[in-house]
Structure 1
Amino acid sequence: MPPDSVNLTEAARSVQLFKINGFTATKEKPGYTASRVCAAAGHDWRIEFHPKAKGSYHYDSSEWIMFRVRLISKRASGVAASFSCRLMDPSSTGGYHLDEMITSSMFCENKSLDVLLIKRSDLEGSKRRHVKDDCILVQCAINVLLGEPKDAAAAGAASNAVASVPSSDLHQQFGELLRSQKGADITFLVAGEPVAAHRSVLAARSPVFMAELFGDMKEKASPCVEIDDMEAEVFRTLLYFIYTDTAPELEQEGEQATLMAQHLLEAADRYGLERLKRICVEKVYTGISVDTVATTLALAEQHGCSELKSRCMKFILATRENLQAVAATEGYKHLEASCPSVLTELLKLIMVKGNK
């Protein structure tokens, strides 16, 4: 006689089907090109699609098809959930092509989780069979663990036997290390202000700091490094990202947050922090306007942000009125002086557009 089964947990599930039409063209549109809000276990979630995300490791330059789930319910916390994605047959909702990719985490308000589904090159190459009529079909599922078990007695026994695993607080611990300055072994003089840090942490996160602090450069033997061409607030925000992988200043709205993103983009490029650089690019672009686009275009050109550069040019050339208004700004004068080659590119695009 088989043993009785006991259901120790209950979960709520929400399944969403994403049909991405015009798959080839999504490569030309950076950022999240599609999103959907859904509900699961009484919480609101947003699922986003990214057509060419970078890999998880610094040495992986591949572009991936990525989906992201974000908990958007206000003041939500302690929500245990998993997120899975599966590439399906575009001609039928009944056939799967690839194994399911799944990951899980503890969520609080605005916490997100990513799934790298498949390399874009695979879909465009040998696995082109997964694309039909320039369309891909992806099933995304959110599974949320409910708070109360179905069998209270069994749950009590289980909780006594196995302690729950707390969510990761590594970023908080490193943030406290930066704040306390315990064990700090290097000081930066940034615009005259002293900022203490830990060589090993900086080197582990930045190839530039690795070269400066453990290579043959003069900073290797120096307990103090001067930085004169950066504001102290920007450098402190950069350090906070290095220690915690977060930049709370960029989560704010308004002109100051956009300005900080511009400065941080320069700093991220300088120290080889590619993830921070991409975050700044997205933030800078969300604050783009007639008054700021020329300055942003110069920034993109100077720091090798090809996607941002392309978006700025499209904004400028969207209408004749845009072009005339931008040409009258102070930022355009700065663009003329600092990046004349960009103006040549703009002129060529104007001529091509005029001949169509």
Structure 2
Amino acid sequence: MAAALGQAPGTRTASRCAPETVQGTHAFEIARHSLHKGMGAGRFLRSAAFAVGGHQWCIRYYPDGDVLEECRGYVSVYLELLSKRSEVRAFFEFKMYNHLTKSSTTILHTKAAVLFSTMDASKSSSSFGSPKFMMSGILEVQYLRDDDIVIECDISVIKPPLVGKTTMASEFELVGKTTMSSDFELLRRMLPSDLSSNFRNLLETKEGADVTFMVGGEAFPAHRIVLAARSAVFKAELFGPVGADDRDHITVEEMQPVIFKALLHFIYADTFPRAIMNDFCGDDAREFTKHLLVAADRYAMGRLKLICENFLCRNLDVETVAVTLSLADQHNCTKLKDACIEYMNSSNKISDVIASQGGFCMPARALYFSSMEEYMLWYVRVDLTWM
């Protein structure tokens, strides 16, 4: 017992296992996108091979979607490991470059590391991604510019862990303190911001809502401060120095509930309401977008208005171009107005357009105007309103 009491205290040692990651980004530009449509489901375009973390990768893009029936109307995107007989754990995210905002938007990201493997050819574990990456129509509205799209892929490859040398406990504690900031920086790069989804959840859960909008008999709870931060019109209405509206319930006239719902989605999530748009197709999608453009103009949501303009510019036809031109003129949509005039001039269909609206005196009236553009603007302002 005395000998035990006289022994020197045991030493305390420690070691540290620190995973390392290697990051890389590849941008896959697809020019003349319209020529690739119609390839058929299951057919894809493959990017050039690129190296990240000592392994070869590529991006696969399916213009007409994967072979699954549920992918119809969507584009599909996958990240593929090309290195033979390899196993790699990695995080990845896909982004689309938005020409309107001059920035990239995250469309898909992994919350946990994915195991890519080419060890067994019979197992399809060499590629991961999304078969329903995005609706084709949404891609063309937000991300297509001059028939060109850019898909970006960020990869964080997890390297085999390294165990550091054995150290005294005090030294280990010091190492932990000195590397903490770099660990946080690593996590920041690996995990993209979820600010947009947080605000969207705020809208969906209605937690903390302090105002309710009544639209066509439907109630939409919302948060005054969020609306004011995103729209100068809402700010003036809810917090303006004169006549600030402090009512708990506010009625919105002359707007459909589905349009107000889409407007709120954009205000909170800062993305085009794809889930709502999925319920519409063809002429219905065009009408939905027209109403959403009017709402965007009403509440001074300039970016949403531009997105709607872009969609309508790409979906003109003889039967609706005159009404669309009238809409563009009423809401000062210069780009859409020019697109309507160009459509009628380039296709030489002005007579067909007039006929589709029930007007057949276009040539005689047009003599009084200096240009066909001037006549068409007069037509949509006067003739069309009398019909």
TM-score bin, normalised by smaller chain: 0.5 to 0.7
Q: Quote the Cα distance in structure 2 between the aligned partners of 1:237 and 1:211.
A: 21
Partners of 1:310 and 1:215 in 2: how far apart? 36
Q: Please list every run of 5 or more consecutive structure 2 residues that lacks an aligned counterpart in the other structure.
A: 1-18, 37-44, 49-56, 63-74, 81-90, 110-132, 140-149, 166-178, 377-387
2:283 pairs with 1:255:
yes
Q: Distance in 1 between matches of 2:207 and 2:103?
A: 38
How far apart, in 1, do the equivalents of 2:163 and 2:23 lie?
A: 11
* Residue aligning to 1:205: 230
Question: Aligned letter for 1:276?
Answer: L
Equivalent of 1:297 in 319, 325, 341: 325
Q: What are the equivalent positions in structure 2 for 1:1-356 lying under 5 Å apart?
A: 8-9=21-22, 11=24, 13=26, 39=47, 41-44=57-60, 73-74=76-77, 79-80=92-93, 107-108=108-109, 109-110=133-134, 144-145=154-155, 147-149=157-159, 152-154=160-162, 164-165=187-188, 166-246=191-271, 247-248=273-274, 249-250=276-277, 253-320=281-348, 322-330=349-357, 347=372
CA distance in 1: counterparts of 2:357 and 2:372, whole angstroms: 19
Q: Give RMSD over aligned pairs.
A: 4.8
Cα deviation 1:39-84 (Å, max 9, x = unaligned)? 15321479xxxxxxxxxxxxxxxxxxxxxxxxx6436695247999
What is the TM-score when the length of structure 2 is the normalising length?
0.54
* Cα deviation digits, residues 140-187 of structure 1 (max 9, x gap): 9967435343xx134999999556332222222211211222211111
Give the match's secondary structure for 2:22. Answer: coil
| Equivalent position SS for 1:317 | helix
Deviation at 1:277, TM superposition (A): 0.3
Q: How many residues align?
A: 257
Aligned AA for 2:58?
G
Residue type of the alignment partner of 1:257: A
Cα pair distance change 1:295/1:42, threshold 3 Å: same
Report the 3-state secondary structure (helix = DSSP H, G, I; strand = E; otherwise coil) of the residue aligned with 1:189. strand
Question: Per-residue deviation at 1:316?
Answer: 1.2
TM-score by length of 1: 0.58
Residues 21 and 157 in structure 2, CA contact (< 8 A), matched pair in contact too = no
Q: Secondary structure at the match of 1:195?
A: strand
Q: 1:209: Cα distance to partner? A: 0.3
Of structures 1 and 2, the larger Rg is shown by: 2
Contact 1:8–1:154 (8 Å) recurs in 2 = no
Residues 250 and 258 of structure 1 are in contact (CA less than 8 Å); yes or no, is this contact kept in structure 2?
Answer: no
Separation in structure 2 between the aligned mates of residue 332 and residue 243 of structure 1, nearest angstrom: 44
Q: CA deviation at 1:305?
A: 0.4
The share of aligned pairs that are identical, in percent, is 29
Q: What are the Cα deviations for residues 73-132 of structure 1, in whole angstroms up to 9, with x where unaligned?
A: 436695247999xxxxxxxxxxxxxxxx998968454599xxxxxxxxxxxxxxxxxxxx
- Aligned-partner Cα distance in 1 for 2:228–2:164: 46
C-alpha displacement of 1:193: 2.3
